[in-house]
Amino acid sequence: MQLPPKVWFKIEKLKAWWRSTFGETNKTYDTSHQMCPVCRALVTRGTKVCPHCGARIGPRRARGGAASDRIMGVIPMPTSATSILAAAIVLMFLVEWFMTQRAGGSQGGGLFGGISGMVMLRLGAKFGPLIYAGQWWRLVTAMFLHAGLLHIGLNLWVLLDLGPEVEGLFGMSKFIVLYLVTGVFGYLVSLWWSPMGLSIGASGAIMGLIGILIGVTFHHGHLGKEYRSMLWRWVIYVVIFGLFFPVDNAAHMGGLAAGIVLGYLIPEGAPETRPAENLWNALAIISVVIIAGSFALMALQINNPIFYR
């Protein structure tokens, strides 16, 4: 029995990931086919109309080689929403570093650490007393802050690796909503577990991405089970890492749990009906407005005298 195009493509994508992860890198990239942007079936490159769903397929820019879809041949090229999130994280880190230098330099970490705690607080770190005082937006802004180069480097590495995978499975609109929801839920769990703790980082949302992929695998039989086992090993590594380093384990577990539930319940792929497409587009717009509004509220209070007492 012939598999549906979507299922066949996902199986081939998982096989390609498995080969690239475990060392089977001697195969060249197949440039004779491309993916339909609507149904995700593989069609002959140059096809103008998808034979499976009838969608028009526009020209794609040449990548120029087998490894050119990876940054420095290692990190996968991110898709659009992932790119924007990564750029926002880098921008906020530059702001953190600049403000720390103006305040007297880095603290205790040299090259790999040292963002001032006061700077983190001013720029929107998660901190219970201020959140309970009405600064709910800290649950969002904290996702874009990091404590040092090692912190941001690890998170960007995983985001650029898993972000395109999740965005490819669900589409841009769903991805934006899922990233925000899992990240905020992670910080809500952190707020409940440690209301007085100061916390920052994208790792709650990134654990949400791992959880989403785990949730998806339950719909893909034996192959999904194998992929899920690999993802659970990632989770174990993160937990072990958290035992020896001062990370927000509550945010990690909260983001992971939210991701598993959402990945299992939300259908993969682009919305199949116009009302569903409109709904997800509206939710994505609301998510972007929440993120932008949170940063606007942060900017309005950044020089609040409370930070200088």
Which of the following is catalytic: 116, 173, 190, 252? Answer: 252
CA 212 to chain centre: 10
Strand, coil or helix: 112: coil
Identity of residue 56 = R
> Is the separation of the CB atoms in 181 and 262 below 8 Å?
yes
Count CB-CB contacts under 10 A for residue 175: 26
Q: Is-catalytic flag, 203? A: yes
Count CB-CB contacts under 10 A for residue 265: 8
Q: Is-catalytic flag, 194? A: no
What b/e sequence results for 202-240 when a residue is b if at least 16 CB atoms lie within 10 Å of its CB, and e otherwise?
bbbbbbbbbbbbbbbbeebeeebeebbeebeeebeebee
Which of the following is catalytic: 116, 173, 203, 294? Answer: 203
**Tokens linked to 87:** 């750029």
Angle at CA of residue 241, ends 239 and 247, nearest 5°: 85
Report the helix count and the strand count for the chain, using DSSP H and E: 11, 6
Nearest-angstrom CA–CA distance, 119 and 99 = 7
CA 97 to chain centre: 23
Nearest-angstrom CA–CA distance, 109 and 92 = 19
Q: Which residue(s) pair with 43 in the sheet?
A: 34
CA 36 to chain centre: 23
Residues labelled as active-site residues: 203, 252
